[in-house]
Chains A and B, each alone.
Chain A
Amino acid sequence: MELRLTGVGHRYGDREVLRGIDLEIPAGQIVCIVGPSGCGKSTLLRMMGGLEQPDTGEIAQIGAVPDGCLNPLTYIFQDFALLPWRSVAGNVSLVLEDHDIAKAEADAMIRDVLARTRLTEFADALSRQLSGGMKQRVAIARALVVKPAVMLMDEPLSALDSQTRELLMDDLIGLWTRTPFTAVYVTHNLAEAVRLGHRIVVLSRRPGEIREVVTLDKPLGARGYGDADLEAQQKHLWEVMRAEAAAADAELLGA
């Protein structure tokens, strides 16, 4: 399944946040959206999953939903959004309970997804017992269990320290390499974008418009921490963004 955005624009009151976004999310690829703070990239992501309605333009899903998919557009949130009163397994189970799935089958699905995210031994832990990285792995497990057609990730690693971030990036790359998934990955971190993105969309400052789309051909599995070619790409992205970010910063101070 693919997503297609045509002429998407949005304003909050008289403040225009997004303008004329045309974008395609091809199946099996990770599209990263980067941009200065306040450029509306999170708003754009919320629109893609139907949590917010664009003022202009439209967002369409193209193609059939894959077999066994329970929730085509599935989010992974920056602050994890785990229910603190449920265990790791309970949080994953939450999103299955509204579907007509036999208990044994649901248990098997939960076991499988916890194994894939290396959480099996923490199945009964409560979220307050988990580190930030583990919490986000639970959120990833919860997203994977519904077999999404498109994963919508809203700065999923931004609340984590840089070491945990590296580890989780490896996890994400591992998951993608085994079974490629379609994803939109919003971040302000260019290093994450060049590690995870097949395509990187750079938004301008508010109102957000597409400034540039960078395509990276190097396979995800071959990318590593501090690769020279990735560094060069990151540098290029930063040069594109730098003026925008500086202007956005000044704007926020002046507002």
Chain B
Amino acid sequence: MPEPVQKVTFRGGGFAPVTRRWVGFVVFAVLLILAEWGTRAGVISPLTLPRPSDVLWTFQELYASGLLFKHLLPSLARLAIGAAFGAVAGIGVGLLMGLFSYIRAGLVPLVAAIFPIPKIALLPLFVIWFGIDEGSKYALIAFGTFTPTVVATYAAVDNVDRTLIRMGQSFGLSWLSIVRKIVLPGAMPGILAGLRISLAIAIILLVAAEMLGAEYGIGAYILEAGALYDLERLFAGVVILSVLGVMVSAVIGAVERRVLNWRT
């Protein structure tokens, strides 16, 4: 009697993420086409959802009238200045907390206490402290960016390989050299991951700040459209925000590829 022969079945597939660039675009396109078809066919009433093509037209008008940049440029300036202040201060304080036990012991409870405060609630306070103009908006965005950056940075410093620091000490490197050449680059992956979150929060706060008192800015534009129930313009504003978010994310991705090219 012959021995039974059976092919060994493959069971090792899946659980391995593969980049599929186009899938994201397909999902996006399908949703847009569904909305366009739905609003045209009357399945979706124009009050529920504006027609994507109308939003596009609104956007075109906004661009043609020159109002797009009148709203966009102040917003970008606020975002850049506020987020830069918040991120630089956050990385600085986070590093100090990661390096010095006393500073950490003193500031961890404080950070835990201010992290959950909705920063928008503090806007009136900022208006008193920094004035009704740009100052209070910068402060709000900076403050909102600061806390998540601090937490990400000191956690990242904790995660720096101790054997590398011991190596630096064993070769007699100065304290400053160890921080600059070992701790900071070692913490960079964690800091950049934290910045992704911080900058998304910065965009949210930008809109919130502009809704509460700005003549120009994407937030002001959205607020105005919302007050008039002009859904096309509202959505045009929202699209700008989404694009902004994607762009910020892409910029960080590019920075990561440059700065972290040593990782696989």
Interface set of A (CB-CB < 8 Å, partner B): 49-51, 70-71, 73-75, 77, 79, 81, 83-86, 94-95, 97-98, 126-128, 142, 146
Smallest CB gap from A49: residue in B: B170
User: Could you give, for residues 231-264 of chain B, a 1 whenever the CB lies within 8 Å of some chain A CB and a 0 otherwise?
Assistant: 0000000000000000000000000000010111
Minimum distance in angstroms from B168 CB to a CB of chain A: 8
Name the contact of B163 in the complex, choosing from A50, A81, A97 (C-beta under 8 A): A81
A51 touches B169 (CB 8 A): yes
Interface set of B (CB-CB < 8 Å, partner A): 163-164, 166-174, 177, 181-182, 185-186, 188, 260, 262-264
In the bound complex, what is the Cα–Cα distance between A146 and B260 (angstroms)? 28
Task: For the A-B complex with A50-B170, A77-B163 known, give 11 more contacts whose Cβ atoms are closer than 8 Å.
Answer: A51-B166, A70-B172, A81-B167, A83-B164, A83-B181, A84-B262, A85-B185, A94-B173, A95-B171, A98-B177, A128-B264
Tell me the dominant secondary structure on chain B's binding face. Answer: helix
* B residues less than 8 Å from A84 (CB atoms): 262-263
* B residues less than 8 Å from A79 (CB atoms): 163
A98 touches B163 (CB 8 A): no
B185 touches A74 (CB 8 A): no
* B residues less than 8 Å from A85 (CB atoms): 185-186, 188, 260, 262
A-B pairs with lowest CB-CB distance, top 10: A81-B167, A85-B262, A95-B171, A75-B170, A85-B185, A84-B262, A81-B163, A126-B262, A71-B172, A98-B177
* A residues less than 8 Å from B167 (CB atoms): 75, 77, 81
Smallest CB gap from B177: residue in A: A98
A97 touches B177 (CB 8 A): yes
* A residues less than 8 Å from B166 (CB atoms): 51, 81
* A residues less than 8 Å from B186 (CB atoms): 85
A81 touches B164 (CB 8 A): yes
Tell me the dominant secondary structure on chain A's binding face. Answer: loop
* A residues less than 8 Å from B185 (CB atoms): 83, 85
Q: List 22 A-B contacts (CB under 8 A).
A: A71-B172, A77-B163, A77-B167, A81-B164, A81-B166, A81-B167, A83-B182, A83-B185, A84-B262, A84-B263, A85-B185, A85-B188, A94-B168, A94-B171, A94-B173, A94-B181, A95-B171, A95-B173, A98-B173, A98-B177, A126-B262, A128-B263
* B residues less than 8 Å from A51 (CB atoms): 166, 169-170
In the bound complex, what is the Cα–Cα distance between A126 and B185 (angstroms)? 14
In the bound complex, what is the Cα–Cα distance between A97 and B168 (angstroms)? 12
In the bound complex, what is the Cα–Cα distance between A237 and B189 (angstroms)? 47
* A residues less than 8 Å from B170 (CB atoms): 49-51, 71, 73-75
* B residues less than 8 Å from A71 (CB atoms): 170-172
* B residues less than 8 Å from A75 (CB atoms): 167, 170
Smallest CB gap from B264: residue in A: A128
In the bound complex, what is the Cα–Cα distance between A49 and B172 (angstroms)? 11
In the bound complex, what is the Cα–Cα distance between A71 and B167 (angstroms)? 12
Smallest CB gap from A143: residue in B: B171
Minimum distance in angstroms from A34 CB to a CB of chain B: 22
Minimum distance in angstroms from B150 CB to a CB of chain A: 23
* B residues less than 8 Å from A73 (CB atoms): 170
Name the contact of B171 in the complex, choosing from A74, A86, A126 (C-beta under 8 A): A74
* B residues less than 8 Å from A83 (CB atoms): 164, 181-182, 185
Smallest CB gap from A91: residue in B: B167
In the bound complex, what is the Cα–Cα distance between A49 and B171 (angstroms)? 10
A128 touches B262 (CB 8 A): yes
In the bound complex, what is the Cα–Cα distance between A142 and B164 (angstroms)? 13
* B residues less than 8 Å from A86 (CB atoms): 262
Smallest CB gap from A81: residue in B: B167
* B residues less than 8 Å from A94 (CB atoms): 168, 171, 173, 181
Interface centre among A51, A95, A126, A146 (most CB of B within 10 A): A95
* A residues less than 8 Å from B181 (CB atoms): 83, 94, 97
Smallest CB gap from A50: residue in B: B170
Minimum distance in angstroms from A74 CB to a CB of chain B: 7
* B residues less than 8 Å from A49 (CB atoms): 170
In the bound complex, what is the Cα–Cα distance between A97 and B174 (angstroms)? 10
Minimum distance in angstroms from A252 CB to a CB of chain B: 23
In the bound complex, what is the Cα–Cα distance between A70 and B185 (angstroms)? 25
Smallest CB gap from B181: residue in A: A94
In the bound complex, what is the Cα–Cα distance between A128 and B264 (angstroms)? 7
Smallest CB gap from B168: residue in A: A94
Interface centre among B168, B171, B264 (most CB of A within 10 A): B171
Known: A81-B163, A85-B185. A98 touches B262 (CB 8 A): no
* B residues less than 8 Å from A77 (CB atoms): 163, 167
Minimum distance in angstroms from A254 CB to a CB of chain B: 29
Smallest CB gap from B176: residue in A: A98
* B residues less than 8 Å from A74 (CB atoms): 170-171
